[in-house]
Amino acid sequence: MKFLSLIMILLAPKIFAKSYVIPSPFLSPKVEARLNNEQPWVRLAVSGEHFYGARKPEKPVIVELNRLTAIEDIEFLISTGVKNNGPYVNVLNASLVKGEKKYSFPVTATNFVSSYGQASIDISFKLKRACEALECDFEKGELVYLYIDYKGFREIAPIYEWDTMYGAYYLFRYK
């Protein structure tokens, strides 16, 4: 019995201490966009089978945009829900998915995530700098992965993925 109790104590952090990012509101994710700071945010239509938090790249929140607009020039604002079970105060970050790797890129605004959950946390970003470095193709679509980490990233670099933290995928593409 003591051995079983020891195993349960050692495995408890791996089983129960999960942190995650989910689209918010849950069934109708809020994604907004604007061309510059003088313009108001405009809500974008989204679609997809993201009912379990858009945790898989095969089932992202799909954001389809008009081909007449260069997606790289648009600033996006995404609302998320976050549950942080980690020991740190974390930061909501964004990364661009290329093949099997995810690359962090600078965001224009983000929030700190304290312990436990927060119903709504916003992040805003432009894809221009990331696309200049990593070559984007919005005809096929580009996956953006939102995740939490204990630091905010200001450079374009591969991210380290924690076993106990799950992010949310958003696919940006032309209609």
- Domain positions in the chain are 17-174
88 confidence band (pLDDT: 50, 70, 90): confident
Buried b (16+ CB within 10 A) or exposed e, 118-136: beebebbbbbbebbeebeb
Q: What is d(CA 165, CA 30) in angstroms, rounded to the nearest whole number?
A: 22
**pLDDT tens-digit map of 47-82:** 988 777 788 999 999 999 988 888 888 999 999 988
- Which CATH number applies to 17-174: 1.20.120, 3.30.450, 2.60.120, 2.60.40? 2.60.40
What is the CB-side half-sphere exposure of residue 5 using CA atoms within 13 A?
Answer: 2
172 contacts: CB under 8 Å, gap ≥ 6: 63, 65, 71, 76, 127, 138, 141, 142, 143, 144
Residue 116 clears pLDDT 50, i.e. is over it: yes
Residue 4 clears pLDDT 90, i.e. is over it: no
Residue 113 clears pLDDT 80, i.e. is over it: yes
Per-residue pLDDT averaged across 131-156, rounded?
92
| Average pLDDT score over the chain | 86
Residue 124 clears pLDDT 80, i.e. is over it: yes
Q: Which residue has the higher pLDDT, 137 or 163?
A: 137
